[in-house]
């Protein structure tokens, strides 16, 4: 089964962040040695990609909530019901969900 368009897009973004990090590292060789600079840039790139992934996940979950509401005439009662409907694993500890409004957000 080929990877989903969402997964392909995430991989493209991660590659782009990695390339930008390497280019940025090569242009700013001051203060720290190259290995330290590379490590710092790599960690920043990783953290930036996590933030992007979280934002994209929230958008996808919100679309799943809208689809559930369209199919059932109501919002899911909880995130487990949404996960069952969408057929996706969902860590409910990462999100705050209001079943009266259908709004989901990331716990931070």
> What rounded mean pLDDT belongs to the chain?
79
More confident residue, 8 or 78: 78
19-33 per-position pLDDT tens digit = 877 777 666 655 677
Q: Mean pLDDT, to the nearest integer, of 8-18?
A: 79
Going by C-alpha positions, the residue among 1, 81, 20, 49 that lies closest to residue 97 is: 81
Q: Quote the crossing angle between the two packed helices 34-72 and 79-86, to the nearest 10°.
A: 90
- Given a cut of 80, is residue 85 above it in pLDDT? yes
More confident residue, 42 or 90: 90
Q: Distances in Å between the alpha carbon of 68 and those of 50, 53, 84, 101?
A: 27, 22, 10, 13
Domain encompassing residue 38: 5-106
Residue 68 near residue 85 (C-beta atoms within 8 A): yes
32-81 per-position pLDDT tens digit = 777 777 777 777 776 766 554 455 588 888 999 999 999 999 999 999 99
Number of structural domains (the chain) is 1
Query: Cβ-count burial of 13 within 10 angstroms (0-12 exposed, 13-18 middle, 19+ buried)?
Result: middle
CA dihedral 25, 30, 36, 41 (to 10 degrees): -30
pLDDT of 20 reads 75
| Secondary structure of residue 23 in the 3-state scheme | helix
């Amino acid at each position: 089964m080929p990877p989903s368009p969402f997964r392909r897009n995430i991989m493209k973004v991660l590659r782009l962040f990695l390339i930008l990090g390497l280019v940025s590292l090569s242009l700013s060789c001051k203060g720290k040695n190259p290995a330290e600079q590379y490590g710092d840039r790599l960690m920043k790139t990783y953290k930036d990609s996590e933030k992007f992934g979280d934002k994209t996940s929230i958008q996808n979950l919100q679309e799943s909530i809208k689809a559930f509401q369209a199919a059932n005439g109501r919002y899911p009662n909880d995130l487990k019901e949404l996960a069952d409907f969408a057929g996706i694993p969902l860590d409910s500890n990462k999100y705050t969900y209001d079943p009266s409004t259908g709004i989901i957000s990331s716990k931070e």
